[in-house]
């Protein structure tokens, strides 16, 4: 009976997918959602490919999934993935069914599945990944994810004991995930370690998870990402198996050592967050058996997708677009820090980081902007901040509290337009920071700025 | 004047750290004590004019309860003396009679200042908004929580909900109040979002403070009140 229900769900989903594709739709979620509705344990019946890699974590899972899929394909693998669809249960099912035979066997060599942390129990209950990659566990939308302790609770409950883990060793919350899993690989960054031992107040990890003693940070790169140690019991961040030992921005290279053996790779992006992502990708591919030389050759041919990062120059006007994932304090803070860290003066920053969904029939909870470090925006190299969107007044107050002078702030209460407020006479280095659901609006601002420049 | 911010390293979740920081910006001449969790609360052995504690994880909530339990009598003394005390988010739940952590199957005794109980379910998260009336003052805030409180607060509420839910979905009376102890699940951060309430709370300590960035704070507040008064705006749902 169970099998009959599975086949019915599988074939219905395939039929719906075919119909949607004929209508020119992506069909990357709805067929999966329908299949789950018809057969709630459908993941238990699908015959998975030889290698299933689940990618989760607060920040970076899309980038890592996309890079892994791309590099595996370049290495000759056939790969099922949910890059075009949703990362919740329906999207995962849709991706697998898309590549499944009529009997439910996934035909590809591997599946790279981005999985939302909140969907862990629904997905890993029936689909046991061979590898689970966790990029980090940080604060995210409080509406869904509450706090990192809650996410860790969910992941600990959900991850099957036999799964091999590939974890960020510089994130002690992430590194401690799922103690039931014995095979663990850690990645981290040693190069450019900040100096000084910062205070841990306000971080999501202040006290030792083992003995309750106050943790000490050897250094922190951002939030709780860095190296920590408990002086009371000696518990500490694990030694990474894959370690970034050198970042050479001028040459555009990064050295990553595996078990002490360094290998130089093309630096995909010099944002520290993306260096973690790149190191993570190298670790996964190595564990899958790819040689460092093969990984290096693959990395030479890929880029971080432009929907996440893009840079153009026109007539001396530089425009950098960076996705900043609204309601995610850490992702936004990293983008703010990235802008502050870039060389140059008279930068302008255009913000599209309010929540698009909450702007329709709701009013966004601004808690997260107070969990986010806005102090980089007070950097003297930043001459103008343009906050656009319905929460621009909240953004203004937050920026003022962070020390940004009032005269540097301009407000535009809509997601549409606002580019004309950017002072392109004074500011020739413009950053557009945008939530992933506001990419079209961000592109419109970029287009308007380029047209204004061309018309000068 | 002396203010104490309790356990800021773990009780500043959901932006609540900025309640304390905003107070400190409003009262630069005050002596602020930021007591870490590893130390005895300053109020235990010293007079304080204001006390604040913010939201925390559910695990931290259990540990904070044990930390404060030995000082229950001293807290009651401060409450009786009319010292302004504000507990926001799930810090408000510390003052209940009992917290029932349904998911883990654990019940923990609260400080018992109010005869209400808390039910915490990690698989049921509630997100909502509140447009409230506190004795003629408009207060706005947000709820993002795993818990609801149950019990009778008709004589001990913080504010009446014009829109949104109070202690629980069946209640229109939000929070708990005893003299100048105000316990509310509202987030925001509450003091930053509500310049009138922030001035009122500081007034309970006998201070007429100049709030930081008053025009920007007022503009954001006015816009939020306008939005929350719009009948098209949704006020709460579970995820």
Tell me how many residue pairs between chain A and chain B have CB atoms under 8 A apart: 103
CB A372 within 8 Å of CB A327: no
CA distance A186 to A205: 19
Query: In total, how many domains does chain B have?
Result: 1
pLDDT value at position A308? 65
State whether A359 and A290 are in the same domain: no
State whether A395 and A366 are in the same domain: yes
Nearest Cα residue to A325 out of A88, A51, A59:
A59
Rounded mean pLDDT, A276-287: 98
State whether A40 and A73 are in the same domain: yes
Strand residue runs (E) in B91-229: 98-101, 106-109, 116-120, 126-134, 137-145, 147-151, 159-163, 173-174, 176-178, 181-184
pLDDT value at position A456? 74
Determine which helix (DSSP H) or strand (DSSP E) holds B215, and give its type and residue range. helix B214-229
Q: Is residue A256 part of a domain?
A: no
Distance of CA A166 to the CA centre of its chain: 15
Q: Whole-model pTM? A: 0.93
Contacts of B213 in chain A (CB under 8 A): 397, 400-401
Asked if B125 lies within 8 A of A366 by C-beta distance, the reply is no
State whether A284 and A337 are in the same domain: no
Contacts of B25 in chain A (CB under 8 A): 401
* Pick from A292-306, A437-451, B171-185, B195-209: least confident: A292-306
State whether A279 and A420 are in the same domain: no
CA distance B172 to B167: 7
Range of the domain at B118: 2-238
State whether A78 and A169 are in the same domain: yes
Residue A373: closest C-alpha in chain B: B15
Distance of CA A359 to the CA centre of its chain: 23
Selecting from A142, A206, A401 the residue whose C-beta is nearest the C-beta of B14 gives A142
Q: Is residue A411 part of a domain?
A: yes
State whether A287 and A373 are in the same domain: no
Structural tokens at position B11: 């009780």
Selecting from A201, A363, A368 the residue whose C-beta is nearest the C-beta of B15 gives A368
A359 interfacial to chain B (CB closer than 8 Å) = no
Whether cis (ω within 30° of 0) applies to the bond prior to B189 is yes
Sign of CA dihedral A411, A412, A415, A419: negative
Question: For residues B203 and B209, which has the higher predicted lDDT (pLDDT)?
Answer: B203
Rounded mean pLDDT, B121-132: 96
CB B107 within 8 Å of CB B34: no
Report the CATH number that the domain containing residue A117 is assigned in CATH: 3.40.1190.10
pLDDT value at position A323? 86
State whether A148 and A96 are in the same domain: yes
Rounded mean pLDDT, A246-262: 94
Res A205 pLDDT > 80: yes
Angle between helices B58-68 and A148-158 (to 10 degrees): 120
User: Considering chain A, what percentage of its residues have pLDDT values greater than 70?
Assistant: 99
3-state SS record for chain A: CHHHHHHHHHHHHHHHHHHHHHCCCCCCCHHHHHHHHHCCCHHHHCECCCEEEEEECCCCHHHHHHHHHHHHHHCCCCEEECCCCCCCHHHHHHHHHHCECCCCEECCCEEEEECCHHHHHHHHCCCCCCEEEECCCCCCCHHHHCCHHHHHHHHHHHCCCCCEEEEECCEHHHHCCCCCCCCEEEEEECCCCCCCCCCCCCCCCCECCCCCCECEEEEEEECCEEEEECCCCCCECCCCCEEEEEEECCCCEEEEEECCEEEEEECCCCCHHHHHHHHHHHHHHHHCCCCHHHHHHHHCCCCCCCCCEEEEEECCEEEEEEECCCCCHHHHHHHHHHHHHCCCCCEEEEEECCCCHHHCCCCCCCHHHHHCCCHHHHCCCEEEEEEECCCHHHHHHHHHHCCCCHHHEEEECCCCCCHHHCCCCCCCEEEEEECHHHHHHHHHHHHHHHHHHHCC
Return the DSSP state at B187: B
Pairing mode, strands B137-145 and B126-134? antiparallel
Return the DSSP state at B154: T
CA distance A127 to B105: 28
Residue whose entry in the numeric block shows the structure tokens 């939201």: B55
Res A119 pLDDT > 60: yes
Residue B121: CB atoms within 10 A of its CB come to 15
State whether A394 and A291 are in the same domain: no
pLDDT value at position B48? 98
A143 interfacial to chain B (CB closer than 8 Å) = yes
B81 Cα to chain A: minimum distance (Å): 31
Contacts of B219 in chain A (CB under 8 A): 393, 396
Confidence of residue B237 (pLDDT cuts 50, 70, 90): low
Rounded mean pLDDT, A267-276: 91
Substitution target in B16, B125, B227 with the highest count of A β-carbons within 10 Å is B125
Confidence of residue B194 (pLDDT cuts 50, 70, 90): very high
pLDDT value at position A306? 56
Residue whose entry in the numeric block shows the structure tokens 């703010």: A336
Structural tokens at position A63: 């980038």
Question: For residues A1 and A275, which has the higher predicted lDDT (pLDDT)?
Answer: A275
A405 interfacial to chain B (CB closer than 8 Å) = no
Nearest Cα residue to A390 out of A413, A410, A368, A369:
A413
CB A414 within 8 Å of CB A350: no
Asked if A401 lies within 8 A of B21 by C-beta distance, the reply is yes
CA distance B37 to A162: 37
- Write the DSSP assignment of B65-107 as a string of letters: HHHHGGGHHHHHHHHHTT--EEEEGGGGGGGSSEEEETTTTEE
Q: Is residue A238 part of a domain?
A: no
Contacts of A200 in chain B (CB under 8 A): 9
Res A194 pLDDT > 70: yes
Determine which helix (DSSP H) or strand (DSSP E) holds B15, and give its type and residue range. none
Asked if B22 lies within 8 A of A366 by C-beta distance, the reply is no
Q: Return all residues near A164 (Cβ < 8 A) that are at least 6 apart.
A: A130, A131, A132, A181, A183, A184, A185, A287
Structural tokens at position B69: 């339990």
State whether A154 and A122 are in the same domain: yes
Q: Is residue A222 part of a domain?
A: no
Res A182 pLDDT > 70: yes
Q: Is residue A98 part of a domain?
A: yes
Res B40 pLDDT > 90: yes
ipTM of the complex: 0.97
A201 interfacial to chain B (CB closer than 8 Å) = yes
Confidence of residue A2 (pLDDT cuts 50, 70, 90): low
pLDDT value at position A195? 86
Using alpha carbons only, how large is chain B's radius of gyration in Å? 17
Q: Is residue A191 part of a domain?
A: no
Mean pLDDT score of chain A = 94
Confidence of residue B67 (pLDDT cuts 50, 70, 90): very high
Pairing mode, strands A242-248 and A253-258? antiparallel
Q: Return all residues near A56 (Cβ < 8 A) that are at least 6 apart.
A: A114, A115, A116, A117, A120, A132, A133, A134, A135, A155
Q: Is residue A250 part of a domain?
A: no
Q: Phi then psi for A148, rounded to 5 degrees?
A: -60, -30
State whether A401 and A371 are in the same domain: yes
Rounded mean pLDDT, A372-391: 97
Residue B14: closest C-alpha in chain A: A367
pLDDT value at position A402? 97
Structural tokens at position A404: 């940004």
Res A305 pLDDT > 70: no
What pLDDT digit, counting tens, does each position of A404-443 carry? 999 999 999 999 999 999 999 999 999 999 998 999 999 9
Residue whose entry in the numeric block shows the structure tokens 């219905």: A12
* Pick from A81-95, B58-72, B98-112: least confident: A81-95
What pLDDT digit, counting tens, does each position of A37-77 carry? 999 999 999 999 999 999 999 999 999 999 999 999 999 99
What pLDDT digit, counting tens, does each position of A14-40 carry? 999 999 989 888 888 899 999 999 999
Structural tokens at position B55: 């939201």
Structural tokens at position A40: 């709630």
Range of the domain at A283: 2-186+271-299
Res A225 pLDDT > 90: yes
Query: In total, how many domains does chain A have?
Result: 2
Confidence of residue A260 (pLDDT cuts 50, 70, 90): confident
Structural tokens at position A388: 């656009």
Rounded mean pLDDT, B66-85: 98
CA distance A392 to A439: 18
Report the CATH number that the domain containing residue B234 is assigned in CATH: 3.40.50.880
Distance of CA A260 to the CA centre of its chain: 27
Structural tokens at position A173: 């919350």
What pLDDT digit, counting tens, does each position of A308-324 carry? 678 899 989 999 999 88
State whether A175 and A41 are in the same domain: yes
Domain boundary among A299, A317, A339: A299
Determine which helix (DSSP H) or strand (DSSP E) holds B51, and give its type and residue range. strand B50-53
Asked if B18 lies within 8 A of A394 by C-beta distance, the reply is no
Rounded mean pLDDT, B37-55: 97
Mean pLDDT score of chain B = 96
Residue B97: CB atoms within 10 A of its CB come to 15
């Amino acid at each position: 009976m169970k099998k009959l229900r599975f086949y019915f769900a599988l074939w219905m989903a395939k039929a719906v997918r075919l119909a949607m594709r004929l209508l020119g739709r992506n069909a990357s979620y709805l067929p999966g959602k329908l299949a789950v509705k018809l057969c709630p344990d459908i993941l238990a019946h699908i015959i998975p490919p030889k290698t299933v890699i689940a990618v989760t974590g607060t920040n970076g899972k899309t980038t890592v999934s996309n890079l892994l899929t791309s590099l595996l394909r370049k290495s000759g693998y056939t790969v099922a993935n949910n890059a075009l669809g949703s990362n919740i249960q329906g999207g995962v099912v849709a991706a697998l069914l898309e590549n499944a035979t009529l009997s439910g066997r996934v035909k590809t060599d591997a599946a790279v599945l981005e999985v939302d942390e909140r969907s862990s129990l629904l997905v890993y209950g029936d689909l046991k990944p061979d590898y689970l990659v966790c990029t980090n566990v940080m604060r995210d939308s409080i509406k869904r994810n509450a706090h990192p302790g809650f996410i860790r609770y969910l992941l600990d409950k959900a991850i099957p004991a036999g799964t091999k883990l590939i974890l960020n060793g510089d994130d002690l919350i992430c590194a401690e995930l799922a103690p039931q899993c014995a095979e663990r690989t850690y990645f981290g960054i040693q190069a450019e370690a900040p100096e000084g031992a910062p205070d841990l107040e306000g971080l999501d990890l202040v006290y030792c998870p083992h003995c309750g003693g106050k943790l000490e940070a050897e250094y922190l790169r951002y939030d709780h990402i860095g190296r920590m140690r408990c002086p009371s019991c000696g518990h500490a961040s694990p030694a990474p198996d894959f370690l970034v030992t050198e970042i050479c921005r001028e040459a555009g290279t990064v050295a990553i050592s595996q078990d002490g053996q360094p290998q130089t790779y093309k630096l995909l992006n010099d944002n520290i967050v993306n260096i973690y992502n790149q190191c993570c990708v190298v670790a996964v591919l190595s564990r899958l058996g790819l040689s460092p030389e093969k990984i290096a050759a693959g990395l030479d041919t890929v880029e971080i997708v432009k929907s996440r990062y893009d840079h153009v120059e026109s007539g001396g006007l530089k425009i950098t677009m960076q996705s900043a994932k609204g309601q995610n304090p850490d992702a936004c803070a990293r983008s703010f820090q990235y802008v502050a860290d870039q060389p140059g003066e008279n930068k302008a920053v255009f913000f599209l980081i309010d929540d698009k969904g909450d702007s329709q029939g709701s009013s966004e909870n601004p808690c997260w902007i107070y969990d986010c470090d806005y102090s980089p925006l007070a950097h003297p190299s930043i001459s103008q901040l343009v906050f656009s969107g319905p929460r621009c007044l909240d953004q203004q107050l937050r920026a003022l509290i962070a020390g940004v002078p009032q005269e540097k702030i301009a407000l535009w209460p809509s997601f549409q337009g606002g580019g004309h407020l950017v002072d392109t006479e004074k500011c020739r280095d413009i950053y557009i920071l945008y939530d992933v659901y506001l990419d079209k609006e961000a592109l419109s601002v970029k287009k308007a700025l380029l047209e204004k420049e061309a018309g000068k | 004047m002396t203010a104490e911010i309790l356990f800021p390293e773990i009780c500043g979740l959901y932006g609540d750290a900025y309640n304390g920081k905003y107070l400190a910006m409003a009262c630069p001449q005050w002596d602020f004590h930021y007591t870490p969790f590893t130390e005895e609360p300053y109020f235990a052995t010293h007079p304080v004019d204001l006390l604040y504690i913010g939201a925390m994880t559910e695990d931290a909530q259990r540990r904070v309860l044990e930390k404060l339990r030995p000082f229950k009598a001293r807290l009651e003394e401060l409450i009786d003396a009319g010292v302004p005390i504000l507990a926001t988010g799930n810090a408000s739940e510390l003052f209940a009679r009992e917290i029932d952590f349904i998911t883990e199957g654990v019940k923990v005794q609260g400080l018992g200042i109010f005869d209400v109980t808390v039910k915490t379910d990690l698989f049921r998260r509630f997100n909502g908004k509140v447009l409230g009336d506190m004795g003629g003052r408009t207060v706005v805030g947000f709820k993002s929580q795993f818990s609801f409180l149950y019990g009778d607060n008709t004589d001990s509420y913080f504010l009446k909900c014009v829109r949104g839910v109070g202690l629980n979905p069946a209640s229109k009376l939000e929070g708990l109040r005893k003299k100048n102890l105000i316990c509310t699940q509202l987030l925001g951060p509450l003091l930053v979002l509500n310049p009138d309430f922030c001035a009122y709370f500081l007034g309970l300590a006998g201070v007429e403070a100049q709030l930081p960035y008053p025009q920007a704070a007022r503009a954001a507040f006015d816009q939020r009140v306008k939005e929350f008064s719009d009948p098209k705006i949704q006020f709460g749902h579970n995820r």
